[in-house]
A and B are shown apart, each in its own frame.
Chain A
Amino acid sequence: MLVFLCNPGDVMAGPFVAELRRRHRLAAQIITPQELVYAPDMQHLLGEAETYSAVTLKTHGTLENASITGLVNRVDFLPDAHLANVNAADRTYIQQELLAIWSSWISALPCPVLNRPTAISIAGPVYHPAIWHHYAAAVGLPVAQVIYDADLPDPQTPAPVHSAIVCQGVCYSPTLPRELFAACCELAAYAGLDMVELLFGSGPGGTVFSHASPIPDLSQANANLIAQVAEIFRDCQT
């Protein structure tokens, strides 16, 4: 099974997954982080010859790590509604535990994962806006002149007017100048993200980098991007 791990409000993941199933014949399923975190049975066994992980979901039954053939990670936080009656100190502790456990569980999957979590972020590598700005300038993307000051709120990023989605070295955008595509791919690689949306605004001299999201707006996805994602996971189907 190809898992699309998405928040319940991720409405554009549905049509993307439907296309993967209908046009590309992939056994893709949407699973929410709620289904993982509230699963009645999870296990993560380390220290053997091979790591073994499994989770029993109310909706899809038991998924062992070997039965997940690919995962597209579109989750930026884990649910904690079940902790509403837990005191604040314990709630913070449990939130940290859940992040530590599920980031490891997903990372241990032997299949291809787009945006594998890190130990501190379920969504994959995350960066302060100043670091994105530095990386964007370093790869040759146009950037606005900004100064971050600890005594002031962070500078406003330019309002987005262009969007590009980069997926494993291929850049898609209907409006961004094509001469920026190579630098966009380099920025995604620099950031260690398999899939990322890069947003650009208008500066005095033209288009400038604004910010980035590891969870691209899939309403911007075209048929070529869907075909590329299908190709990434095609060989992994059982």
Chain B
Amino acid sequence: MILLAGLPNEPPLARVASALDELGLPYRTIDQRQHVNLHLSLDPAGDHGIPQGRLKSPEVEDIALEEVTGLYQRLHSDESFPELCNLPQDDPARLRFGRFVTLFTAFSDLCSGRVLNRTPGMGTNNSKPFQAQIIARAGFAIPRTLITNVPGRARKFVRDAEARGQEVIFKSASAVRSIVRAVTADDLARLDRLRICPVQFQERVEGRDVRVHVVDEQVFATRITTTGVDYRYASRDDGGSTVLEPFTLPPDIAARAVRLAQSLNLPLAGIDLRETPTGEWVCFEVNPSPAYSYYEANTGQPISEAIARYLAGY
């Protein structure tokens, strides 16, 4: 049985549901908006190494967890639900919601079927410098990066980059507030705030953005032409524009992308690459829960179909 879990009308989940419909593959959907009526029990020791359990939802028949052969999950935190986000952290409704998500996630890690994606792979994006080390080991170049709490070191890093004609950006090291900004003169004037927490500075890499979605061993590359520092926010921030087009990666780069996704334990991955004017391929980060639908909607690349086929065991 294929299970989709999250918000059914969220585009990534909705597109996989449509693809499963078109392929004639049966599936069940767990609507997280019905969280009050979702019930989950799990026997982790299970039977012959297979965890057993029941998932009860008002909209579908009870689901035997041991029968789940494919799972695509895009679970949201309680902050995404208006009826929960303003409640105190220790409110029983909020605690129950958290227990459900935690237990469902534990099940997904133990599920013997195909899962997009499991916790160990999902976690690497919580530390971008940590993930960058794995990216480098996979053979991609990574941007020159300094994390420091010393204003003088940060200023020197910026000066050295400028001397080479490079701009410097800063961005969070964790997955929180992950918006990229160029370092300005105002920023350099308030670097004393670094004392409370180190900050990640990165040399801006010139070149063409390519977003790569890996689904198992299939690769979908999308070239992005933008006017912004961060194409995801270009239109919103700068009144700029972004154009997406299908792109064919050199075979060795495509193979490297698959290896990187595999080394991160991510059967589904969104890899941010930039091809420099000298032909070098730099990788910025790997998104373990990619909103691939944005790229599919703009290019027609059949990513949701690939996900559906993967979940079905093809």
Which A residues fall within an 8 A CB radius of B? 39-48, 51, 82-83, 86, 92-94, 96-101, 103-105, 107-108, 117-120, 125, 128, 130-131, 133-134, 137-138, 143, 145-151
Can you list 22 A-B contacts with CB-CB less than 8 angstroms, sorted by A residue number? A41-B153, A43-B146, A44-B146, A46-B133, A46-B147, A47-B136, A93-B177, A97-B173, A100-B127, A101-B147, A105-B147, A118-B120, A128-B105, A128-B109, A131-B44, A137-B44, A145-B45, A148-B42, A150-B38, A150-B41, A150-B103, A151-B39
- Is A97 a contact partner of B103 (Cβ separation < 8 A)? no
- Is B148 a contact partner of A43 (Cβ separation < 8 A)? yes
- Is B49 a contact partner of A138 (Cβ separation < 8 A)? yes
| Inter-chain pairs besides A118-B130, A145-B43, 17 sampled, C-beta below 8 Å | A45-B147, A47-B132, A47-B142, A47-B203, A92-B176, A94-B197, A98-B197, A100-B128, A103-B127, A103-B130, A118-B123, A119-B130, A146-B45, A148-B41, A149-B40, A150-B100, A150-B103
Min C-beta distance of B194 to chain A, whole Å:
10
**In the complex, chain B residues whose CB is within 8 Å of the CB of A46:** 129, 132-133, 136, 142, 144-145, 147
- Is B144 a contact partner of A133 (Cβ separation < 8 A)? no
Interface hub of A41, A128, A137 (most chain B Cβ within 10 A): A128
**Docked CA distance A99–B176 (Å):** 12
- Is B177 a contact partner of A100 (Cβ separation < 8 A)? no
Min C-beta distance of B28 to chain A, whole Å:
17
User: Which one of B46, B126, B141, B150 lies within 8 Å of A119 (CB-CB)?
Assistant: B126
User: Which one of B150, B172, B200 lies within 8 Å of A41 (CB-CB)?
Assistant: B150
**In the complex, chain A residues whose CB is within 8 Å of the CB of B120:** 118, 125
| Closest A residue, CB atoms, query B148 | A43
- Is B45 a contact partner of A47 (Cβ separation < 8 A)? no
**Docked CA distance A42–B148 (Å):** 5
**In the complex, chain A residues whose CB is within 8 Å of the CB of B103:** 128, 130, 148-150
- Is B146 a contact partner of A45 (Cβ separation < 8 A)? yes
Interface SS of A by simple majority: mixed
**Chain A CB within 8 A of B99 CB:** yes
- Is B106 a contact partner of A130 (Cβ separation < 8 A)? yes
**In the complex, chain B residues whose CB is within 8 Å of the CB of A145:** 43, 45
How many residue pairs at the A-B interface have CB separations less than 8 Å?
177
Which B residues fall within an 8 A CB radius of A? 38-46, 49, 51, 96, 99-100, 102-107, 109-110, 120, 123-133, 136, 141-150, 153, 172-177, 196-198, 200, 202-203
**Docked CA distance A119–B176 (Å):** 13
- Is B196 a contact partner of A83 (Cβ separation < 8 A)? yes
User: Which 4 pairs across A and B sit closest by C-beta, in order of nearness?
Assistant: A100-B127, A104-B129, A100-B174, A137-B45
**In the complex, chain B residues whose CB is within 8 Å of the CB of A149:** 39-42, 103
- Is B39 a contact partner of A150 (Cβ separation < 8 A)? yes
**Docked CA distance A92–B173 (Å):** 13
- Is A100 a contact partner of B129 (Cβ separation < 8 A)? yes
| Closest A residue, CB atoms, query B107 | A130
| Closest A residue, CB atoms, query B132 | A46
- Is B129 a contact partner of A97 (Cβ separation < 8 A)? no
**In the complex, chain B residues whose CB is within 8 Å of the CB of A125:** 120
- Is B43 a contact partner of A147 (Cβ separation < 8 A)? yes
Min C-beta distance of A214 to chain B, whole Å:
15
